Amino acid sequence: MKILVTGGAGFIGSNFCDYCFSNEPSSIVEKIIVIDKLGYSGSIENIKELQNRDNFVFIQADICDQKIVSNILFEEKINAVVHFAAESHVDRSIDNPEIFVQSNVLGTFKLLESSFHYVSSLPRKERDKFRFVHISTDEVYGSIPLEDPPVKEGGVYDPSSPYSASKAASDHFVLAYHKTYGFPAMITHSSNNYGPRQHPEKMIPHMICNALEEKELPVYGKGLNVRDWIYVEDHCAGIWRVLNRGRLGEVYHIAKGKGMTNFELVQKICSQLDELFPRSSGRRYAELIRFVIDRPGHDLRYAIDVAKMKNELGWEAQVELEEGLRKTILWYVQHKDWIRSVLDRGYLLKRQGLCRSVVNNA
């Protein structure tokens, strides 16, 4: 199998490449070609070790460049596309929504066009083997009431942020290409990811880095927003299962299936840090927690049902949160040079507030 991984120099994309070369897929994967424009969240550091492999190729380019993408597809004789490339930071989408439309909507459309024309040119046998997996998010469903059960595949879309709206739009394009043209695509919706190489703007690494530097730990609102956290390697294993066993035109939810409030999560991070790296003052890290003004349109709860992945594909997440957090904390402590290189490229948003003003209709 030759796989084109878009956004493969990003957090989840680079971990997926690692997974393909070191786990069950290693006997099947002949070659991985990564295309990534190296925006703020993509880093050559994330794939540095992979570049020594003969069966790994990195190409710096934008998926909106159909000529480059088409050349890769035809020249490499790609068998599968796993599409991670996207702007994914909600705060950034509120501040500058246009780049999310460009990357997530237009980028996905152009990638679909390039892939569709490539697949159409293949002999029937090769065409039947081709797969396109679009990586999406639980945020497209909007806020799920606390009393409601987790939403199942096919649930009603109700995006709240420019980010989730752009991902919802890209989902619709993918399914439309399947329904209209028979394009061999599938979609995965995951819950919040965490683990090695996640950009320090994201919640878990942000808390880890701030705590170790004795900075405040800013939590939106009262910290009551509920999220389901999945360790990135579990997510990658789920994507691989969908790629190889999923049914065309289907949507699959990849999550741990356990929700907790943001405040509870930060407390867990602080407790592990207290054990692993006690403060020199002897005080607890939880004393650094500060509640800050909530962001606009902040969904109270995300919750997706994972029964389909378990019952149909025999997959479920393996890493418990406590184990995953410990691995993540240790990774960030051991990779301070990586953190510094990422932050040196620009760290524009802070959780205490956003750059764009919001109209008050009260």
- Please say if 139 is a catalytic residue: yes
- Pinpoint the alpha helices (H) of the chain: 11-22, 66-76, 90-95, 98-100, 107-121, 124-129, 162-181, 203-212, 232-245, 262-276, 307-313, 321-334, 336-343
DSSP for 15-27, written as a single string: HHHHHHHHSGGGG
- Rounded mean pLDDT of the chain? 93
Catalytic residue among 19, 118, 141, 163, which?
163
Catalytic residue among 18, 87, 138, 171, which?
138
pLDDT band at residue 351 under the 50/70/90 scheme? very low
Greater confidence, 320 or 26? Answer: 320
Greater confidence, 163 or 359? Answer: 163
Give the whole-number percent of the chain exceeding pLDDT 90. Answer: 87
- Average pLDDT value for residue range 204-230: 97
12 pLDDT exceeds 80?
Answer: yes
pLDDT band at residue 350 under the 50/70/90 scheme? very low
pLDDT band at residue 361 under the 50/70/90 scheme? very low
236 pLDDT exceeds 50?
Answer: yes
Of 95-99, 155-159, 182-186, the one with minimum mean pLDDT is 95-99
- Please say if 138 is a catalytic residue: yes
Write out the H or E segment, with its range, that includes residue 34: strand 31-36
Greater confidence, 360 or 204? Answer: 204
CATH of 2-198+228-259+301-319, one of 3.40.50.300, 3.30.70.3040, 3.90.420.10, 3.40.50.720: 3.40.50.720
pLDDT band at residue 39 under the 50/70/90 scheme? confident
Confirm whether pTM is higher than 0.85: yes
Measured CA distances, 282 to 136, 277, 308 (Å): 42, 11, 47
229 pLDDT exceeds 90?
Answer: yes
- Please say if 45 is a catalytic residue: no
The domain segmentation of the chain, as residue ranges, is 2-198+228-259+301-319
